[in-house]
Amino acid sequence: MRNLTSLNPAPAFSASFRLAPALFALLVLAVTCGPGTPGARAGQTVPFANGITARVHSAAEISASLQATDKGLLTLNHPAVGQVVLRDDADVRVPYSVNQVLAALEVMQVQTSVTVDVFILPATPDETGSSFARRGAILLAPGTGPIDGITQATIVTHEMGHVLTWAFMDEHPLRWDAYMEMRGLDPVRNGPAARHANRAREILAEDIRFLFGGSLATSSGSIENRDLETPDHITGLKELLAGFFAEGMEGPVAIRSSAFPNPANPMTTIEMVLPEGTAAGGPARLDIYDIRGMRVRTVTGGYLANGRVSLQWDGATDRGGAASSGRYFYTLRMGSVQARGAVTLVR
């Protein structure tokens, strides 16, 4: 993983710190005095023998980057995840343990090549209320008390299953077809509209946890959807998935991109999927255009990980003013590849 903004010594997180002094002190106290926050390895990029490389962002690191909103919420901005809104409840929350998170990833029984950003949140994510994954990142929601090791390992490994899905399945429809057929899943019955435990993506994340997790992550001997057979009863399933994860990032020739969140208010992250073997030919460049075709903003740098490059637009113009609400078009380029798309700005 490379941060292409290294040519410009800007911090990885959002630039300014705007929390009131009292709130800042409360957050620092919560994340440094809680029993579940050993931080000896926090903030480092940690490679493991199984091919997983973890970049861990500790609760203390995140707390120091948060911005307060006028609604009493806190905002985390980072190129790996875009914008994440947190509740102001760090004083009653206990974050995950850095060491336990790293241990859960280290003992996963895969052979792969993937980088994951792990955000050990100091407060509850407002949208989900729980831990979740977003592309190449895992965001771990704190508990109301110390979180036991089995729970930490189970959730970390499940969310890593989502990261592996994005990295090695989503650009390969035939891989999804093979998995769905072998698992006996239906595109409609197990589609996005199904209840959580019935969705194919959740079943796959649980299968990955069950088949490739360490002893703590698999200690229950079950999966979330109790109506399904555990994946060890599906002949050839473990070998099929292991083969996918070992083959590497074979990206398609066509360049795809997305903006998230979209609509944006005002921050958005624009991400481009790179073809296999694309070299970082200098920094990426993002150009934003209004509906008349006039360029309103250019952003350079970029965050490169897992075959994707991303840049953030903060809703400002090159002149430093705020772009008005409306629909905008973008072009994202890196080296000889480029992608186009649209994003709606709502203020």
DSSP string, 102-161: HHHHHT------EEEEEEE-SS-BTTTSS-EEETTEEEE--BSSPPPHHHHHHHHHHHHH
Q: Are 247 and 114 in contact (CB under 8 A)?
A: no
What pLDDT digit, counting tens, does each position of 324-334 carry?
999 888 888 88
In sequence order, the β-bridge partners of residue 240 are none
Q: Where are the domains of the chain?
A: 2-147, 168-246, 257-345
- The top-scoring range by mean pLDDT among 24-33, 47-56, 67-76, 254-263 is 47-56
DSSP symbols for 147-176: PPHHHHHHHHHHHHHHHHHHHHTTT-HHHH
| pLDDT for residue 250 | 41
| pLDDT for residue 282 | 74
| pLDDT for residue 341 | 85
H/E segment holding residue 24: helix 21-33
What pLDDT digit, counting tens, does each position of 189-215 carry?
999 999 999 999 999 999 999 999 999
Average pLDDT, the chain: 84
What pLDDT digit, counting tens, does each position of 294-313 carry?
789 999 999 888 888 999 99
| CB-neighbour burial class of residue 215 (10 A; exposed 0-12, middle 13-18, buried 19+) | exposed
CATH topology for 257-345 is Immunoglobulin-like (2.60.40)
**The token pair that represents 153 in the structure block:** 């390992």
What pLDDT digit, counting tens, does each position of 134-177 carry?
989 999 999 999 999 999 999 999 999 999 999 998 878 878 98
**The token pair that represents 89 in the structure block:** 């409840």
Torsion of the alpha carbons at 223, 229, 230 and 232, rounded to the nearest 10: -170
The CA distance from 338 to 55, in Å, is 27
- The top-scoring range by mean pLDDT among 15-24, 42-51, 191-200 is 191-200
CB within 8 A of 277, min separation 6: which ones? Answer: none
Residue 29 pLDDT greater than 60, yes or no: no
- Greater confidence, 43 or 183? 183
| pLDDT for residue 79 | 87
How much is the average pLDDT of 212-236? 96
Residue 336 pLDDT greater than 60, yes or no: yes
Residue 68 pLDDT greater than 60, yes or no: yes
Residue 4 pLDDT greater than 50, yes or no: no
**The token pair that represents 109 in the structure block:** 């029984």
How much is the average pLDDT of 127-140? 94
Torsion of the alpha carbons at 109, 111, 117 and 122, rounded to the nearest 10: 0
| pLDDT for residue 256 | 80
| pLDDT for residue 112 | 93
The CA distance from 192 to 201, in Å, is 8
CB within 8 A of 60, min separation 6: which ones? Answer: 28, 31, 32, 37, 39, 42, 122
How much is the average pLDDT of 106-127? 95
- 8-state DSSP, 85: E
The CA distance from 255 to 244, in Å, is 21
| pLDDT for residue 281 | 62
Nearest-CA neighbor of 169 among 100, 114, 229?
114
- Greater confidence, 119 or 44? 119
| Tokens 């019955």 found at | 189
Residue 274 pLDDT greater than 90, yes or no: no
| pLDDT for residue 221 | 96
| CB-neighbour burial class of residue 291 (10 A; exposed 0-12, middle 13-18, buried 19+) | exposed
Residue 52 pLDDT greater than 50, yes or no: yes
Residue 103 pLDDT greater than 90, yes or no: yes
